[in-house]
Chain A
């Protein structure tokens, strides 16, 4: 079957049935969670200040749930009412403010509103035109999106997008338009040699002149995944989260992983690794 973005417009593709299926699929939950952790890592937020983030194409809140857990306040936008409805159904668990919005039409957020943005599995949807109206052409929509996003972010800030390009031309088109909108940065490819684990992240900077585009992860992802389905990199040690009492906590600390696993189990996931003395311990650095 062809990629979802080639089948129908997003708000149609993610109708009631698909939205439910997507949100309740434990494999999807896990992949989206893992990519959200990685996006947060690439976002490289300062540790000791609370942050206000934008989740672009937040869907049913699989990514937002991770933002909640990590102690961030966030706003989510999505074009599919059914996906947002799934999120509202999860209300008790997801805390972000939601908007029904087509990101290709641009944002109205005031300059400097957000400390950062993430977007998980969304950008490829902007590459497909729906009507012949000039404002529906992918370059027009991408331009509108990136320029209004750029202004909605503080300086300095980052925006990290995991997405599924199908060609180098697509990557080229997206990065060149982002650049014209004022962003620095570039593409990070994790596990480039693995068919299954390969993931593409567009890592954009506002300001932050000297910053280098982070390096992609390498090595044997599969082995690691078997060892612990909720996988973390050593650098995540540095990231912190806020617990209920308002104190900072280690994002990849043992408590947090146990909580995450508990969440997966509650949703009926079967192959959550059992807890052991290795849970949440430090791993070897990859580079």
Chain B
């Protein structure tokens, strides 16, 4: 199952696609919510790795507008719970990830994105 936490780490890896290849656009996605264990320490440790704008945008695309537009300095519990939900409890089951640069489509089936490249796309 792919969640927004991994979507936020993923750029296009097709040959010569090195700029403007992140974030992958979510297309025709179906999502499912599934509860996960809240772990504030994990979230605090993970914060510096997040591309905030991309996360807010992706959350919006799956219908969640709970995140502030700017990454807050103060990580209180209320904020961390929202972040937890967005990063770890929204599962993308179907749809596609589309590269904003080269247009490569990575289809998602049964929650699993297909990252395989054709021979001429391999770097």
Contact = CB atoms under 8 A, between A and B. Distances in A.
Interface of A: 49-50, 52, 73, 75, 77, 79, 84-85, 88, 91, 95, 97-102, 105-110, 112-113, 131, 133, 135-136, 144, 148, 242, 244, 246
Contact of B41 (A49, A88, A105): A49
17 contacts: A50-B41, A50-B45, A88-B1, A91-B1, A97-B2, A98-B1, A99-B2, A99-B115, A100-B112, A101-B115, A101-B116, A107-B13, A108-B10, A108-B21, A110-B9, A144-B122, A246-B39
Contacts of A95: 36
Interface residues of B, number: 35
A60 B3 CA distance: 19
Given A97-B5, A246-B39, A148 B110 contact: no
B72 interface: no
Contacts of B112: 84, 88, 98-100
Most central of A52, A136, A242 by chain B CB within 10 Å: A52
B105 interface: no
B75 interface: no
Given A50-B45, A148-B13, A100 B113 contact: yes
Contacts of A144: 122-123
A90 to B, nearest CB: 12
Given A97-B6, A98-B2, A88 B113 contact: no
A110 B13 CA distance: 10
Nearest to A84: B112
B41 A102 contact: no
B114 interface: yes
Given A49-B41, A52-B46, A97-B2, A102 B116 contact: yes
